A and B are shown apart, each in its own frame.
Chain A
Amino acid sequence: MMTETFYEVMRRQGITRRSFLKFCLLTATALGLGPQFVPQIANAMETKPRTPVLWLHGLECTCCSESFIRSAHPLAKDVVLSMISLDYDDTLMASAGHQAEAILDEIIEKYKGNYILAVEGNPPLNQDGMSCIIGGKPFVDQLRRVAKDCKAIISWGSCASFGCVQAARPNPTRATPVHEVITDKPIIRVPGCPPIAEVMTGVITYMLTFDRIPPLDRMNRPLMFYSQRIHDKCYRRPHFDGGQFVEAFDDESARKGYCLYKVGCKGPTTYNACSTVRWNEGTSFPIQAGHGCIGCSEDGFWDKGSWYARLSNIHQFGIEANADKIGGAAAAAVGGAVAVHAAISALKRAQHKGE
């Protein structure tokens, strides 16, 4: 058995046996299991090969991949070398052409039902699907082929999640988000143009660690990163509440860091982690750098008016009470169901491993 296990990977990264068992205890707790399950979880991790990830690219700009490699915690190199087995990713892989395509067949066969499909970009359906060609065939064919036997799909970024820029009016190629093409698999949507690096690696490592899909809202976005509006946690929020606004770029208020609402900030209607996790290892985020949020993690943000047009719909429902009402209840129900399902799966796995 040459395959390296999760446990070995952790040991190699300098994690002690004691810390490893503590990690298993935390995992058990997080899954709602008692401490008696720790040995089973430890056993599962000690014998588990790295999960294969097949990362496909459709119509896209590759900003998601670029964001991913910016991850600081964990480092992108540790994710790729030690946590997952990134067996197909046309942006980074050594092989090309036939040798690259052969990998897909091999992994699908060998890990049927046990690999993760990550999709960056989306399939176009006009022009017979041939405005995105892989191996002489439409990208949508490759997507369907790989999706068929995957365990779950991660839709990276706004392209895969919603369509993004190529799907903006009039959508000349009929670029279509993944969930409208693949309807029989669990899909986690991680929107943003691109998503924040640590959000991307956070979602992946969560899934590997807890062996379940993170709790999702009704749009299948992870609640832990997408349940609050940027406005809710914005460091400039006191200026909004105090009525102190930037009226024009580079005015005195801009220099003092006042609220950007009047120059078009979409923070009040955008669900993302920019104002909390921030960008590039927490260095800054758009509002901190003086430009309003353009709402890049929202469905159809390209067609919702100029970046500089003041939001006209937020006063009607008030800053505090709005979208929680719209989506909160449904999200909780769906998220809860997924979590319960995942916990049961994990429990069964742990029991099975313990036999």
Chain B
Amino acid sequence: MTVLQTPTGFSLDNSGRRIVVDPVTRIEGHMRVEVNVDQENIIRNAVSTGTMWRGLEVILKGRDPRDAWAFVERICGVCTGCHALASVRAVEDALGIKVPKNAYLIREIMAKVLQWHDHVVHFYHLHALDWVNPVNALKADPRATSELQQMVSPSHPMASAGYFRDVQNRLKKFVESGQLGIFKNGYWDNPAYKLSPEADLMAVTHYLEALDFQKEIVKVHTIFGGKNPHPNYLVGGVPCAINIDGNGAAGAPLNWERLMFVRQRLQEAYEFSANVYVPDVIAIASFYKTWLYGGGLSGINVLDYGDYAAVPYDHSTNRLPGGVILNGNWDEVHPIDPRDPEQVQEFVTHSWYNYGDGNNDKGLHPWDGITEPNYVLGANFKGTKTNIQELDEAAKYSWIKSPRWRGNACEVGPLARYILAYAHGVDYVKGQVEDSLGRFNSLAGTALTAKQALPSTIGRTLARALEAHYCAKMMLDDFDALIANIKAGDTATANIEKWDPKTWPNEARGVGNVAAPRGGLGHWIRIKDGKIENYQCVVPTTWNGSPRDPKGGIGAFEASLMNTPMERPEEPVEILRTLHSFDPCLACSTHVISDKGEELTRVAVR
């Protein structure tokens, strides 16, 4: 029996029964988790493993920096566009390019459309089934469901008893067909599900409404970037030129009709998050008022770079300000500098990589990252190299590296941003938090404060919903600013003064940071002789899903599972619920870059 104390105060005890969940589903990419439960079925040790690796940064080496956005955009098709934005920002930072105001605003709108879309799809289609039982919805009274709908969201028009009855009938037919499709083998008789049948029916109905609407909001990307997923970006600006009333306006990428199209979709998104998404999360949370597990690192260390500057390039105007909070002290926010070699560093002690010089326990700043893939398993693992039964967390056990801020493991994501914004005193955010907590407390009959409620699985899910709605508000503001700027006579969308590589310095390096849906994202680039010399991404799920560091510090996924009781350990409802609250994105989190890494890649493809 081993009990380990972590620097953030968790006691890891791996003596109890080991439970393995692989694959973890309803996430982007591939992931495995192993936990040990004690005799009361409480989780006392957690081991999270990134189970995929694609090597995109090796692939970027030697390419044209202006092309990089498309490569890194394919890191992830769920948070599509945020890596592209981080990339063009990194390249522009390296080359000293400032984009025109219109381009800045169009990118801002696109980033928030992504944030909104990603959050909605995450909640309804990846996360809801951890809280909502579609089979139980068959027992609902449609009339009572209608009353519930009108109570939690009086402004949502789709609320009649007949509407809910139709959905219920369709669901009934589906279940009775015996072909349960995506609901097959779910944990539908597990007592971990707490909603009333009416709340289940309301949520299932909104699962379908959200599926229909999510395809509408992404059309904003289609207007500005030509398609979604994976809209097009451009170093120096945006590719969609503006022509409001000139010769050829009708065939221009952005004319008045296109802008009005965008305005309409933004307004609809605002109404959806106000009337459906936020009320649903509050209503569902109220049924789980006693289930305040899953806080993990969020009540201790949180981090974000800050984003959404109201004035282009002036980070003091960030509408979601950044920084680092340590040890749960919301009264002190440490400033963060992504260029400082002492702040953000990555470790590979427990990751399937090596640092070349034999010292695998040091931390490296992303500009200086070195990594070689090294898939080895520890002395105490069970199984074979290609059929793992149980991992040995004392050794290497993940394709994810371990980023740390001045050596501290931190949680990133909407909850981290909301805790930071709350601590910074951002009025809109404070208002949202107080209002939603008030509604929650009144439904649940509780009196929880922000500091009690936010650091939890439910708090993480609530913060995401609130952030989606804040983004809807901000993108409408950005749209108004765009129209005002065009009205003032500025129609520029691209700065191509430094388009030609001949205008670049021989060597340059830059950073691009984005408030990505899953948390603070950073891309670091080195350019030499017009080509990419080095490219490194430190992404949100690398922070949250990281394995242990040399000091024994655990990442946010592992911390969040600690001390959670499971109703039935063989049915991982609670594990999925808390892991999903982070919206894990594994394709994002696993990457590599190195000179020596290339040696491994000289294998002929037949």
Contact = CB atoms under 8 A, between A and B. Distances in A.
A in complex with B: yes
Contact of A66 (B170, B229, B493, B496): B229
A102 B184 CA distance: 10
Nearest to A76: B211
Nearest to B76: A61
Nearest to A69: B211
Nearest to A127: B375
Given A61-B75, A129-B386, A138-B386, A96 B25 contact: yes
B489 interface: no
B29 interface: yes
A3 B243 CA distance: 56
Nearest to A71: B215
Contacts of A135: 22-23
Given A102-B185, A279-B228, A132 B243 contact: no
A291 B179 contact: no
A213 B29 CA distance: 29
Given A97-B572, A176-B605, A307 B67 contact: yes
B245 to A, nearest CB: 11
A100 B178 CA distance: 17
A237 B229 CA distance: 25
Contacts of A103: 184-185
The size class of the interface chain B forms with chain A is: 35 or more
Contact of B375 (A130, A141, A172): A130
Given A134-B22, A136-B32, A77 B212 contact: yes
B598 A170 contact: yes
Given A165-B59, A308-B66, A57 B228 contact: no
B125 to A, nearest CB: 6
B597 A172 contact: yes
B601 A66 contact: no
Contacts of A339: none
Given A165-B56, A249-B241, A250-B241, A134 B179 contact: no
B25 A87 contact: no
B78 interface: yes
B26 A93 contact: yes
Interface stretch (A30-38, A78-86, A216-224, A347-355): A78-86
A110 B597 CA distance: 45
Interface stretch (A15-23, A39-47, A202-210, A253-261): A253-261
B222 A284 contact: yes
B251 A256 contact: yes
A131 B399 CA distance: 8
Contact of B383 (A136, A255, A296): A136
A274 B174 CA distance: 34
Interface string B242-253: 110011100111
B496 A249 contact: yes
A238 B179 CA distance: 51
Contact of B243 (A124, A130, A255): A255
A126 interface: yes
Nearest to A139: B30
A130 B252 CA distance: 48
Interface string A328-346: 0000000000000000000
B601 A279 contact: no
B142 interface: no
A171 interface: yes
A136 B389 CA distance: 7
Contacts of B237: 249-250
A28 interface: no
A130 to B, nearest CB: 6
Contacts of A64: 77
Given A2-B178, A280-B219, A137 B386 contact: yes
Given A96-B576, A130-B375, A279 B21 contact: no
B248 A256 contact: yes
Interface in A167-211: 167-176, 180, 193-194, 197
A161 to B, nearest CB: 14
A351 to B, nearest CB: 26
B74 A193 contact: yes
A63 B59 contact: no
A315 interface: no
Given A171-B601, A174-B603, A256-B247, A194 B184 contact: no
Given A130-B386, A286-B226, A3 B177 contact: yes
A76 to B, nearest CB: 6
A171 to B, nearest CB: 6
A165 B71 contact: yes
A285 B59 contact: no
Contacts of A139: 30
B49 to A, nearest CB: 8
A258 B457 CA distance: 51
26 contacts: A4-B178, A4-B179, A61-B75, A67-B77, A69-B214, A91-B25, A92-B125, A94-B184, A94-B187, A100-B23, A100-B25, A134-B22, A139-B30, A165-B56, A165-B74, A170-B598, A172-B597, A175-B54, A176-B605, A249-B236, A249-B237, A250-B493, A274-B227, A283-B261, A289-B224, A289-B225
Interface of B: 20-30, 32, 51-56, 58-59, 64, 66-67, 70-71, 74-78, 80, 121, 125-126, 129, 170, 173-174, 176-187, 208, 211-212, 214-215, 218-219, 221-232, 234, 236-243, 246-248, 251-254, 261, 373, 375, 383, 385-389, 399, 491-494, 496, 499, 570-572, 576, 587, 592, 597-598, 600-603, 605-606
Given A97-B20, A172-B58, A180-B606, 10 more contacts: A3-B178, A50-B177, A94-B182, A127-B375, A135-B23, A137-B387, A194-B77, A249-B499, A281-B215, A291-B240
